[in-house]
Amino acid sequence: MINKKIESAINGQIQAELYSSYLYLAMSAYCQSLNFKGFAHWLKMQAEEEVEHALKFYNFLLDRGGTVELLAIQKPPVSFVTPAKAFSQAYGHEQKVTGLINKLYELARQEKDYAFEQLLHWFIDEQVEEEAQTQEISEILAKLGGKGNGIWMLDHRLGKRKGE
């Protein structure tokens, strides 16, 4: 049976991952409304990936005999001012998620839950990748200033993202 502190923390992380999906889906819809279909595609795929992350925690909790408690998900914003601001927000959000994962890792070590610690290694590596991707896109958009052909070229490039 899984430790109750860890069970509660995992349920909180499932909620956080599902909120991340909602946030990226809202960003995708915003970019789609501006006809930035490549940005919208990239963000929609990111939303789908966040659901996969939530399911990893969900399945882990069930496999360990825990109780899944699906907590309410906060409504994400509807407008993001510009695609550059959306991706800047995405980068900040990934940094926040990294902090959440790090706290889970600290809890796993404190509670000597080695199986949970092992699962979190995958998430730690994943967060390095997710922060790097959103930081790169955010920095390129900031340099482009939202103008010129560069933004359309980046939109086109991100539209080619394939499933991972």
Question: Which tokens is 22 given?
Answer: 């909602």
Residue 134 tokens, joined:
């959103």
Q: Does residue 44 lie within any of the structural domains?
A: yes
Domain range holding 104? 4-158
Per-residue pLDDT of the chain (164 residues), as tens digits, is 899 999 999 999 999 999 999 999 999 999 999 999 999 999 999 999 999 999 999 999 999 999 999 999 999 999 999 999 999 999 999 999 999 999 999 999 999 999 999 999 999 999 999 999 999 999 999 999 877 788 888 988 998 888 76
- Eight-class DSSP state of 90: H
Residue 25 lies in a domain: yes
For the domain that residue 99 is a member of, what is the CATH number? Answer: 1.20.1260.10
**How many folded domains does the chain comprise?**
1
Q: Is residue 81 part of a domain?
A: yes
Q: Are 97 and 57 in contact (CB under 8 A)?
A: no
